[in-house]
Amino acid sequence: MRADLEYLNNIRFELDKSKWELEYTMTRIHIIRNQSGLRAQFKHTEETGTYVVKEGRGGINWYNYQKKILIAKLLPFAKECLKERPGTIIQEDNTPAYAS
């Protein structure tokens, strides 16, 4: 179940790292004197873009929604609707699991 998250995180790693390095470099350009201490190192965490599944309060999280509903049921249904009714639009509400 979580092997696909590891795969996706490996794909995102380089993109997230290059984005972080650009932002970090831009903040260092404005420094007049040398900055003391260790140079910051990139860590692929939730804050820098890695996918994380958090255990909630019993509701559906983004991962379960994507695997059990979106990919398994909603997308095949939408494709079937497009055959008979081109231009069909699928709209969801603002439930947090949908936002991802």
Q: Which residues contact 26 (CB under 8 A, 6 or more apart)?
A: none
Distance CA 31, CA 46 (A): 27
Instruction: Report the SS3 class of residue 33.
Output: coil
Quote the domain boundaries for residue 84: 59-92
Same domain, yes or no: 9 and 30: yes
pLDDT (0 to 100) of residue 53 = 78
Share of the chain above pLDDT 70, in %: 77
Total number of domains in the chain:
2
**12 and 47 in one domain?**
yes
Q: Kindly state the tokens that stand for 66.
A: 């994507």
27 domain-assigned: yes
**Using an 8 Å Cβ cutoff, are 44 and 38 in contact?**
no
Q: What is the largest CA-CA distance in the chain?
A: 66
pTM above 0.85, yes or no: no
Average pLDDT of the residues of the chain: 78
Q: Are 97 and 61 in contact (CB under 8 A)?
A: yes
Residue 98, domain member (yes or no): no
The string of pLDDT tens digits covering residues 85-99 is: 998 888 777 766 555
Which residue in the block uniquely carries the two structure tokens 């860590």?
Answer: 43
Domain presence at residue 32:
yes
Q: Are residues 20 and 41 in the same domain?
A: yes
- Render pLDDT for 3-50 as a digit per residue (tens, 0 to 9): 888 888 888 888 888 888 888 776 666 555 555 667 777 888 888 778
